[in-house]
Amino acid sequence: MPDTLEMDHLKLYSLIDGPSLGVEGNAMKQLTMLVLFCLTGFALLGNVSGQQREPSDGTLEFIGPGDNELRDAADACGMAFGFSYVISQTEGLRKGNVDDISANQVKVTTFKGAADGTIGKGARQVFHREIARSTERCSLKFKAESEPEPYKAGKIMNWWDEPNFSPTDVLRDTYKFRYRFSLATNYPADAVIANFDRIADKGCQNSTYSRGTGGVGFDYRNDVGDPVYCIHVGGNVQPVQLGCVPYRNGSKCTAFAVLQSTRDRDTVFALEGAKLLRERIDAIAND
């Protein structure tokens, strides 16, 4: 069963990776980390299926659908990475950024420190990026070109610990498969939207899904732009943004979602998630 991608697992980093607490506090923090990791089986660290984490050559690969309308060079197969989470003014900020250096290189930066980002510590690392596209799939690969380089932000009272997550973790555990596709129907646009209003959960009002942008990719709490529906895909709740317009003798609908995915070691697949989503959207549109 594909796992629904959410960013809530990053709260685990935030809750257990605070400022230095002294000998007793550090011991308690270490115990808390051990208990949490044992209970979750590392599942909270990003769709991990329990296999050995490191492949033989250290390459991370993400495989998504080839028909993604967000698969041009700027969007790199529709993928997005990174996170930013403020625990509190005292506990501070945790952040992971992925920035383009060139068409084939990215720089990944981690940070743990003050809530305003002015004082703290982290690491930077450069990765080679390779993109391969076909009509069936879009593959995105990362491989480290350098070792993580520690850095400090601010010069006064920098008492923050180093982050307990690495640049590799940012790529491996904060990915989003953003997916946009279109389909044509033989029914008028208002009839198709009426089907979704009737069958799906408009605005995700009655669905047990964490609200906000998080792993969704958009904020569906505000009535801005196309409506958002929660539908059941592969046994999981899937938020989808949907818009329909008149097209020839029927209508054309465009859907946007963050796909469910599965992992085999350090290769992540969203092909099945895309297939299931398309089938469900088509079924509702033509009901």
Instruction: Express each pLDDT in 255-279 by its tens digit.
Output: 999 999 999 989 999 999 999 999 9
Higher pLDDT residue, 38 or 259?
259
Q: How far apart are CA 165 and CA 96, in angstroms?
A: 9
Average pLDDT of the chain to the nearest whole number: 79
Burial class (CB in 10 A: 0-12, 13-18, 19+), 223: exposed
What backbone phi and psi angles, to 5 degrees, belong to 44? -80, -5
Question: What is the pLDDT, as a whole number, of residue 28?
Answer: 39
Question: What is the pLDDT, as a whole number, of residue 235?
Answer: 86
pLDDT above 90 as % of the chain: 61
What CA dihedral angle connects 256, 8, 148 and 128, to 10 degrees?
A: -20
What backbone phi and psi angles, to 5 degrees, belong to 39? -70, -40
Report whether 136 contacts 78 (CB < 8 A).
Answer: no
Instruction: Express each pLDDT in 165-198 by its tens digit.
Output: 999 999 999 999 999 999 999 999 999 999 999 9
Q: How far apart are CA 269 and CA 176, in angstroms?
A: 11
**What is residue 263's three-state secondary structure?**
strand
Report whether 68 contacts 108 (CB < 8 A).
Answer: no
Helices marked H in the chain:
10-16, 22-40, 167-173, 189-199, 271-285
Helix pair 271-285, 189-199: axis angle to 10 deg: 110
Least Cα distance to 100 among 65, 126, 124 occurs for: 126
Question: What are 86's strand-pairing partners?
Answer: 93
